[in-house]
Amino acid sequence: MKGMDSFMNTFKSKIITFTFLIPALILFAVVMLAPFIQGFGLAFTNWNGSSREIEFVGLRNIVTLFTIDLSATAAMTSTLQFMLMSVVMVNFMGLFVAMGMSGRFRGRTALRTMMFAPIVASLVIAGFTFIYVFGSILQPILGMERSLLYQTSTVMFALALICVWRDTGLAMVIYYASIKNVPTELLEAATIDGANAIQRFFRVTFPLIAPAFTTCIALWIGWGLRVFEYPFVATGGGPGTASRTFAMFVFNHAFVGNRVGYAQMAALIMFIVIVICSGTATALLRRREVDL
């Protein structure tokens, strides 16, 4: 009987705990799950967003995306460029700043706050801010005829710089927290053994902060592949279509071209690409953590 009573008490406790999750689960189902299921069905239609008649077109939208619509390929190429540059630069700057902030010096708290402050700004504000920075400040200093945002060869790099300015603080916090958890005894032992600063970083610090690399790289891969606000605000996808990302491609077809079914298929493909890329990066980096 005691065993039965213990089981029932545990069961009741779990039921009570689960009831606290019900509001969040309902909200998730209404806001996320139901639209996703509905959108999955629309991806195989030619719905224009307003007509009551919806025609099933099968795989025609997929065939168009991958073989006929060259603008889709161009948009994905621009997105991949932005993603690669932002992942590399944000993580490098975040780690570099975190290493610098981990030392003891006067004013480090204020500097950490200043570095983290840009993450509070919205993506739209960041975009408008750098229209002015690239146009009214950097353009005269660098002696350029046009802003970095208005040259096809530099626009994606300029957009990545906006991401670096805003997101470095968040990456810094993640890396800083990992660095502060590295046992000082190991660093002191390495110093006694004659290791210099670079050797201490690669032999001691780097292996111990590998989980932070996994988190940051996977995060910015996902964010980079679905970037929308920066090019939408700062360039409108220009010059021409040089900075039109895949998220903008989806937006334009859904809300400008009234091709909701086609846009939904593109969004579904984008979702699958993000899941595959982020998941693959996480799996490979987790395996690397074990090897280290």
* Amino acid sitting at position 138: L
For residue 213, the cross-strand partners are none
Mean pLDDT check: name the lowest of 15-19, 220-224, 254-258.
15-19
Q: Of 258, 265, 268, 252, which is closest to residue 49 (Cα–Cα)? A: 258
- Please state the CATH superfamily assignment of the domain spanning residues 61-291 in this structure: MetI-like (1.10.3720.10)
Q: Show me where the domains of the chain are located.
A: 2-42, 61-291
* Average pLDDT score, the chain: 88
Give the pLDDT confidence score for residue 265 in this predicted structure: 94
Question: Does the predicted TM-score (pTM) go above 0.75?
Answer: yes
pLDDT at 3: 57
Instruction: Please name which of 166, 148, 177, 176 lies closest in space to residue 242, comparing C-alpha atoms.
Output: 148
96: how many CB neighbours lie within 10 A of its CB?
A: 14
286 or 14, higher pLDDT: 286
Question: Taking the CB of residue 111, how many other CB atoms lie within 10 A of it?
Answer: 14
Q: What is the pLDDT of residues 45-79, one digit of tens each?
A: 999 888 888 899 989 999 999 888 899 999 999 99
Percentage of residues of the chain with pLDDT beyond 90: 51
pLDDT confidence band for 5 (50 / 70 / 90): low
d(CA 163, CA 158) in angstroms, rounded, equals 9
Which string of DSSP letters, residue by residue, matches 105-168?
A: -TTHHHHHHHHHGGGGS-HHHHHHHHHHIIIIIIHHHHT-SS-GGG-TTTHHHHHHHHHHHHHH
Contact 250, 267 (CB under 8 A): yes
